[in-house]
Amino acid sequence: MKEAVRQAGVAKHVSCHTLRRSFASHLPEAGYDIGTSRELLGHEDVSTTTICTHVLNEGGRSARGPIDAL
C-alpha cells in the first residue's frame, strides 16, 4: 500500500482503512440505501454503517429520486 501511494504521488497518509472509509462515504452518493451499504461493508449493526457513511450529517441530501440519474 505504501509503495502504491508513493508511486501515485499522494502526499497525505493513506492506508487500507482510508480506502474503506472513502468507499463507505461514497455509497450514499451512488444511491445505495443504508441496508445495502451495511451489507457491503459487513456491519452487523446499521448504526455503525450510519456513522461510516456520514448519513447523519447529510441532512436528507443522500436521498435520490429518478430524475437524479438523468
**pTM of the predicted model as reported, rounded to 2 decimal places:** 0.65
The reply to whether 61 falls in a domain is: yes
Q: Which residue has the higher pLDDT, 55 or 10?
A: 10
Position 40 scores a pLDDT of: 93
User: Cα angle vertex 30, ends 39, 33, to 5°?
Assistant: 40
Q: How many domains does the chain have?
A: 1
Domain range enclosing 39: 21-69
Q: How far apart are CA 24 and CA 51, in angstroms?
A: 10
- In this prediction, residue 56 has a pLDDT band, given cuts at 50, 70 and 90, of very low
Q: Is residue 51 part of a domain?
A: yes
Is 7 inside any structural domain? no
In a domain, 29, yes or no: yes
Mean of the pLDDT values across residues 42-65?
Answer: 72
Query: For 11-52, what is each residue's pLDDT tens digit?
Result: 999 999 988 988 998 888 888 999 999 999 999 999 888 888
How many C-beta atoms lie closer than 10 Å to residue 52's C-beta? 18
